[in-house]
Amino acid sequence: VLEIPDPIQHFLRPGEEDDHRTTLEGGDVMMVSSNHVLIGVSERTSAYGANEAIKLLFDNNVVEKVTVVKIPNKRDFMHIDTVFTQVKRNVWTLLSSISKYQPQNPLEPINFLIASDNKEATEIIQFNKRFPEVPKSFESIESLLDDISQNDLKSIEPTKFIYSGNGTFPYDAREQWTDSCNLLALKEGVVLGYDRNDKTIEAFKNNGFKIVKVKDLINDLESGKVNADTITDTLVLMPSAELSRARGGFHCMSLPILRDEL
């Protein structure tokens, strides 16, 4: 257990405590391989929190790589696991508005009249324990996740992306709000999700996944019709009327840290 302290600036700069406060929440931490952790900088996790975590992880030889993913500082995103999670070695689900495939809006006079809002930017910076002073940048979420699949997890298949709401406006943002991207992998390719995100469910079907309601799955497991060890490529749907109202998805509510290696 590593305790993350506040930086010295938090105590020495009265009136600016919030600007230098160390905050780190579980939804912004993803162990993607045995030597690589992702840390989000978001509405809930500060850059100073990520900084202190990186130093502790490297000083204690916990991992070799830490990648910081700075997402828009918005309530509807909150943590990185609200905008992307892993499904299997070569498959990820994510929100298209933070991806490289964002639609380009035509320029209007307003684009020249106001400054651009940096809150909308997504930045990805990777730090290596051996060369922490020479970080590596990724141009998009997809390029980072593809690098993880191909290099960290040694996938021999092309990396696939399943987009919230099937990448279609307004379903993408609407279903992200009810945690379409916030999935928990029980094993490789078998994930828990909510039953209300119809377009995202359709996207999983289009990518060859079976869809099963949790009640039906439990009955099949108890009757022996299905064996948990042989289930593959399945999205298990859970009731969501109340849980999704509190902005809690399955990855948020679990924080998996120690996982079997793929």
**Residue 259 lies inside a defined structural domain of this protein:** no
Flag residues of the chain having pLDDT under 50. Answer: 103
**By residue range, what is the domain housing residue 191?**
8-246
Residue 187 Cα distances to 190, 196, 201, 260, angstroms: 5, 22, 19, 9
Q: In what order do the strands lie in the sheet with 36-41?
A: 29-33, 36-41, 65-70, 123-128, 136-138
**Residue 238 lies inside a defined structural domain of this protein:** yes
**Residue 56 lies inside a defined structural domain of this protein:** yes
**Residue 258 lies inside a defined structural domain of this protein:** no
Cα Rg of the chain, angstroms: 19
Q: Give the HSE-up count for residue 86: Cα atoms under 13 Å, Cβ half-sphere.
A: 25
**Residue 119 lies inside a defined structural domain of this protein:** yes
What is the pLDDT at residue 51? 95
What is the pLDDT at residue 106? 60
What are phi and psi for residue 236, nearest 5 degrees? -95, 120
What one-character DSSP code corresponds to residue 111? H
Residue 218 Cα distances to 51, 182, 186, 226, angstroms: 43, 22, 14, 9
Measured CA to CA, the distance from residue 86 to residue 193 in angstroms comes to: 12
Total domains present in the chain: 1
What is the pLDDT at residue 75? 82
What is the pLDDT at residue 116? 62
What is the pLDDT at residue 260? 77
CATH number at residue 173: 3.75.10.10
pLDDT, tens digit, for every residue of 6-42? 665 555 555 555 667 889 999 999 999 999 999 999 9
